Amino acid sequence: MPANGKIASLPRQIREQLNNRLDHGEDGPILLAWLNGLPEVKAVVAHKFGGWPINGMNLNRWREGEFRRWQEQQGQALEKPMHSPLSFNHPFKHS
């Protein structure tokens, strides 16, 4: 089920940056100040949420839901073996 809250309504690039910053352990107040200072965030909350800024509850819900799913996806991506269309099993032939 896709999320539909304030943070989920933000552009993907900002959500990715937020997830990376959460993953690196940044504190909530710092993240909230950063988010609510971005022009893109101001535009989204003004248009869709009556101008009410992103708050601690919004961030906690994101952290417990979509951020955890993002972390799981990151872990799965790291566990998958890299497959190359090139085969390195055969020696190169030189003329």
**Number of domains the chain is built from:** 1
Does 17 fall in a domain? yes
Predicted confidence at residue 59, as pLDDT, reads 97
Does 7 fall in a domain? no
Predicted confidence at residue 84, as pLDDT, reads 44
Tokens of 45: 């909350």
Does 47 fall in a domain? yes
Q: Residue 5, class by beta-carbon neighbours within 10 Å (0-12 exposed, 13-18 middle, 19+ buried)?
A: middle
In tens digits, what is the pLDDT along the chain, a chain of 95 residues? 446 799 999 999 999 999 999 999 999 999 999 999 999 999 999 999 999 999 999 999 999 999 999 999 988 666 655 544 444 444 544 54
Residues with Cβ < 8 Å from 15, sequence gap 6 or more? 7, 8, 66
Predicted confidence at residue 74, as pLDDT, reads 86
pTM: 0.77
